[in-house]
Amino acid sequence: MELLLSFIFFTYGLIFGSFFNVVGLRVPNKTLFKENRSYCDTCERTLTWTELIPVFSYLVQRGKCKKCHQPISILYPLMELGTGILFVLSYWQYGWSHQLVLGLLLVSLIIPITVSDLAYKKIPNRLLLFFTPLFLVYRFFFPLDPFWLTLMGSLLAFVLIFLVILVSRGGMGIGDLKYFTLFGFIFGPIQFLLLFFLSTLYGTLGGLITMRVKKVGKRTKIAFGPYIGLAALTVFFTGEQIISWYLSLF
């Protein structure tokens, strides 16, 4: 039974991951509901259903369009596979609990924002506005203990990131500020501080690797949203263990 449920969660994750790709790429251009069918970004040919099977179609077509033979972004299968894995991990770790709902919501927020930020260097307001009420409702029914930690977390996140923006003179954007503030509300102040530290660590390592591989300068703008999302997932799955380990050192 567990194997079957894991397979179901993984399959739904692949399907939703494919949809999240579309959302992340179309929402910034305001074309999400203007195009009814998926199409090739290069030749603009409408794709058949056999070309839309998550991950499988990419592998069969060897990462190229059937007609124009132009490369398809590796982002598509990676986000699909990543969503499938994260859906399964959420189920494995939390089972049928309200934490599973939180995990699925987090993944559903993080994946399209990651796609959008990687593609356009933009965290869309529309995505944040869509998901914020969902997290508000979740925290209304399943508040942190004590409940005011949600407010403290969001306030801490807003003030801290606002100061970072001022000091760095635009090193972070307003989209990052809103994204961090939402996570502060979700996780509370202690876990948010861990999230902030991890996102900075991931971003620094990612930036160094990018500069070395792509030979870009230090002033090159790097999408920070994916590192924030990765830090949020780290906190969701292992935050309490990391904090407990850290406190045990003292």
pLDDT in tens, 100-131: 999 999 999 999 999 999 999 999 999 999 99
Residue 203 banded pLDDT, cuts 50, 70, 90:
very high
Does 113 share its domain with 191?
no
Does 24 share its domain with 104?
yes
Contacts of 16 (CB under 8 A, 6+ apart): 83, 87, 108
Nearest partner of 150 among 103, 106, 186, judged by Cα = 186
Residue ending a domain, among 79, 107, 134, is: 134
pLDDT number for residue 170: 66
Does 17 share its domain with 125?
yes
- pTM of this structure: 0.92
Core vs surface per residue 211-225: b (16+ CB within 10 A) or e: eeeeeeeeeeeebbb
pLDDT number for residue 172: 81
Considering its fold, how many domains does the chain have in total? 2
Does 103 share its domain with 129?
yes
pLDDT number for residue 118: 93
Residue ending a domain, among 82, 109, 134, is: 134
pLDDT number for residue 49: 67
Does 44 share its domain with 117?
yes
Contacts of 56 (CB under 8 A, 6+ apart): none
- Residue 215 scores a pLDDT above 70: no
Residue 221 in tokens: 């703008």
Residue ending a domain, among 134, 167, 202, is: 134
Residue 134 in tokens: 């969902």
Residue 59 in tokens: 């592998």
pLDDT number for residue 32: 66
pLDDT number for residue 42: 66
Does 9 share its domain with 105?
yes
pLDDT number for residue 41: 67
55/14: higher pLDDT: 14
The radius of gyration computed from the CA coordinates of the chain, to the nearest angstrom, equals: 19
Does 124 share its domain with 160?
no
Does 128 share its domain with 26?
yes
**CA–CA distance, 105 with 32 (Å, rounded to integer):** 20
Write out the DSSP string of 130-190: HHHHHHHHHHHHS--SSTTHHHHHHHHHHHHHHHHHHHHTSSS-HHHHHHHHHHHHHH-HH
pLDDT in tens, 36-78: 667 766 676 677 767 778 888 888 887 787 778 788 888 899 9
Does 156 share its domain with 216?
yes
**Structural domain of 219:** 143-250
Does 188 share its domain with 166?
yes
CA angle in degrees (0–180, nearest 5) for 21-212-80: 15
Does 105 share its domain with 185?
no
Does 46 share its domain with 7?
yes
Q: Count CB atoms within 10 A of the CB of residue 169.
A: 6
